[in-house]
Amino acid sequence: MNKNNNARRDFLKVSGLTGLGLAGTSLVTGCATGKMKSSGKGDDIVALAERKYTQQFNMCGYGAPALPVVRIGFIGMGSRGPAAAVRMSHLEGVEIKALCDVRPEKAIAAKERLKGTSHNPDLYTDGEDAWMEMCQRDDIDLIYITTPWDLHTPMAVYAMEQGKHTATEVPAATTLEECWQLVETSERTKKHCCILENCCYDFFELLTFNMARQGFFGEIVHGEGAYIHDIMDGYFSGKRYDHWRLKQNMNRRGNLYPTHGLGPVCQIMNVNRGDKMDYLTSTSTMDFMLADKVNEVAASDPEYKEFANHSFRGNMNTSVIKTAKGKTIMIQHDVTSPRPYSRIHMISGTKGIAQKWPTPGKIALGHEGWFTEEQMKEVEEKYTMELVTALGEMAKKVGGHGGMDFLMDWRLIDCLRNGLPLDHDVYDAASWSAIFPLSEWSVANRSAPIDVPDFTGGSWKTNAPVDKSLKNGVSTGVTM
Residue 260 has pLDDT above 90, yes or no: yes
pLDDT score of 31 more than 60: no
pLDDT band at 79 (very low <50, low <70, confident <90, very high): confident
User: Above 50 in pLDDT, residue 149?
Assistant: yes
Cα 103 to chain center, whole Å?
A: 24
- What does the pLDDT read at residue 365? 98
Q: Could you tell me the CATH superfamily of domain 199-385+426-461? A: Dihydrodipicolinate Reductase; domain 2 (3.30.360.10)
Query: Tell me: the pLDDT tens digits for 94-126?
Result: 999 999 999 999 999 999 999 999 999 999 999
CB burial of 233-257 (b: ≥16 within 10 Å; e: otherwise) equals: eebbeeebeebebbbbbbebbbbbb
pLDDT at 40: 37
476 vs 293: which has the higher pLDDT: 293
Per-residue confidence band for 38, with pLDDT thresholds at 50, 70 and 90: very low
Q: What is the DSSP pairing of strand 220-228 with strand 346-349?
A: antiparallel
Q: 392 with 203: CB under 8 angstroms?
A: yes
> What is the average pLDDT across 117-143?
97
For the chain, percent of residues with pLDDT exceeding 90: 87
pLDDT at 464: 98
Q: Is residue 2's pLDDT more than 80?
A: no
pLDDT of residue 475: 78
CA neighbor of 430 nearest in space, from 314, 274, 262: 262
pTM summary value: 0.92
Task: Answer for the pair 456, 300: CB distance below 8 angstroms, yes or no.
Answer: no
Contacts of 386 (CB under 8 A, 6+ apart): 469, 470
pLDDT confidence of residue 473? 78
pLDDT digits 0-9 by tens, 200-223: 999 999 999 999 999 999 999 999
Q: Confidence band (pLDDT; 50, 70, 90) for 239?
A: low
pLDDT of residue 217: 98
pLDDT attached to residue 12: 54
In angstroms, the CA 286 to CA 305 distance is 22
Across the strands, what pairs with 363? 354
Quick one: pLDDT band at residue 476, thresholds 50, 70, 90?
confident
